[in-house]
Each structure stands twice: as structure tokens, then as C-alpha cells.
Amino acid sequence: MKKKKKKISYLNLILIFTSVCLTISVFFNIYLSNKKYVNYEMDENIVFFGDSITNKYKVEEFFPNSHVVNSGISGDKSSDLIERMDDVYKYNPSKVFLLIGINDLNNAVDQDEILNNIQKIVNGIKTNRKYTKIYIESVYPINRNSFNEKDYSFNEDITNDTIKDFNNKLKNLCKENKINYVNVYDNLLDSDGNLKDIYTVEGLHLNDLGYYKVTSSIIKYIKK
């Protein structure tokens, strides 16, 4: 009789052990699945995507408490960004700040074409990283007096009125797509409606003080 009880006890132990292992395995798989999902949805990388104006932005210094990534490349136009969307996707960002268009305007690219390219960029992010919040910055103003003083070459047909017109269209694009439009343009102007001289290197690119003004415009979106 004692031997029979001993056999049942061993059998029960085996069954209990097997059950526990299966339970642990199930919960472990659920945990890994959920962990992967959460990382995909909640990754805190913030990508700045654009041309040289983005490239020269020392985002790590201006946002020391955030996981920021600079994906700006000098000379890029909107069509170039479409070709390197992996520079956004690979960071699986929670937010993307997009600044593009001034090189397109300088190279006489039609405004509708630029907007169409930006729409493709937006669509790509929404499709491939659906939890990412998109912030599109206004194109910054220019200063032709600085161009002349620094002997800097820029398309003579492009004025700040041209840029304002483009920014209005960009703002409408953001509204249609229900994404965030960030008006940096107004915060960089002097009393004559040009890029303030103390904010710029040569009338187009910004110095550290200029980037400080940019930061003051977007910091609330970083913290949001």
C-alpha cells in the first residue's frame, strides 16, 4: 500500500512540474511579446530629420535630458529624404521633427512637388511607424543683406514672401493630415521681416543663438 502511494506521489510531482514549466513558458512568451510591442509603441527616441539646418543643430546639447537623434544631411531636398526614410525607421522614434524645403526652393523645385514629397514622407512614417508623432517645422526665414555681406549665393527669386506662402501651404498639409505644424518662422524675424542678423551665420544657416530661439519654439513639443 505504501509503495502505491509513493508511485502516485512521484506521478503528481511530475505532473505538477510539467504544469509549472508550461505555465512559465506561456507567461514568458506573453511577456516577450508584450515587451516587444511596448518598445515599438513607446520608444523615446526623438529624430530630427532634414537638411543642413538640421545637421548643424546640436540637439544633444540643447535637449540633454531627451533621447534625441540628428538625421540631417547637408544639401538634402525633400526628394532626398524620401530615399533615406530608413534614417527615421531604424530608430523607431516616438517623435519626428521634420524640417525640409529651403534647398528645394533654392533649386527652383515647384512648391506643389515639394508638398507632394513631404506628403510621401508623412505617409511613410504613418505606415511604417504608426505610433510616431510627426511635427513639421515651418521653413525658416532668410536675410538677403547677410547674403550680400557674406557673398553667399542663393536663388534671387526666393524671398521671405515666397517662404511665407510655402509655409501657409505646409500648415494646411499638416491640418489635412492631423499632424503638428510648428511655427518657428515668426520667432526668428527682425523688425523688417527678415531672419534676424544675430541669429544667422550668412543669412540662411543659424548660429547657436539662432538654434536657441528654435529650441524655445519646440521645447514644449519635446516635453509633451
pLDDT tens-digit series, residues 70-80: 999 999 999 99
With bands split at pLDDT 50, 70 and 90, how would you rate the model's confidence at 131? Answer: very high
With bands split at pLDDT 50, 70 and 90, how would you rate the model's confidence at 16? Answer: low
Summarize pLDDT for 145-184 with one digit per residue, the tens.
Answer: 999 999 999 999 999 999 999 999 999 999 999 999 999 9
Concatenating the DSSP letter of every residue in 136-191 gives EEPPPP--HHHHHHHT----TT--HHHHHHHHHHHHHHHHHHT-EEE--GGGGB-T
Summarize pLDDT for 181-207 with one digit per residue, the tens.
Answer: 999 999 999 999 999 999 999 999 999
Contact 46, 97 (CB under 8 A): yes
Q: What cell was used for 129?
A: 511607424
Evaluated on CA atoms 142, 143, 146, 152, the torsion sign reads: positive
With bands split at pLDDT 50, 70 and 90, how would you rate the model's confidence at 10? Answer: low
| Distances 96 to 29, 92, 129 between C-alpha atoms, Å | 31, 10, 10
User: What pLDDT does residue 3 have?
Assistant: 47
Q: What cell was used for 103?
A: 534647398
Summarize pLDDT for 71-110 with one digit per residue, the tens.
Answer: 999 999 999 999 999 999 999 999 999 999 999 999 999 9
Residue 46's SS3 state is strand
Residue range 126-139: mean pLDDT, rounded: 97
127 half-sphere exposure, CB direction, 13 A CA radius: 8
Q: 95: part of which helix (H) or strand (E)?
A: strand 95-99
| Distances 136 to 6, 9, 16, 71, 96 between C-alpha atoms, Å | 73, 68, 58, 14, 8
